[in-house]
Amino acid sequence: MPIMNWDKSLDIGVKAMNDEHHGLLDIMNQIYDAQAAGKQGAVINTLVTKLGEACTEHFAHEEAYMQRVGYPGFSSHKALHASLLSRYGAFATQIRAVGGVASDEFFQFLKFWLSSHIKGIDTKYAAHATGAAR
Among 96, 117, 124, 128, binds ligand FEO (CB under 6 A): 117
Phi, psi for 76 (deg, rounded to 5) = -70, -35
Write the interaction track for ligand FEO spanning residues 69-88; mark x where CB under 6 A is met and - where it is not. Answer: --------x---x-------
Cβ proximity to ligand FEO: between 45 and 115 the closer is: 115
Among 10, 29, 44, 62, binds ligand FEO (CB under 6 A): 62
Are 31 and 51 in contact by the 8 Å Cβ rule? The answer is: yes
d(CA 30, CA 51): 10
- Least Å from the CB of residue 124 to ligand FEO: 9
Cβ proximity to ligand FEO: between 48 and 81 the closer is: 81
Residue 119 in the binding site for ligand FEO (CB under 6 A): no
Give the start-end residues of each E strand in 2-93: none
Among 119, 121, 127, 128, binds ligand FEO (CB under 6 A): 121
Phi, psi for 12 (deg, rounded to 5) = -95, 0
Kindly list the distances between the CA atom of residue 48 and the CA atoms of 5, 25, 65, 72, 83, in Å, as whole numbers in the listed order. Answer: 19, 12, 25, 32, 17
Are 15 and 26 in contact by the 8 Å Cβ rule? The answer is: no
- Least Å from the CB of residue 63 to ligand FEO: 8
Q: In the complex, which residues of this chain contact ligand FEO (CB under 6 A)?
A: 17, 21, 58-59, 62, 77, 81, 117-118, 121-122
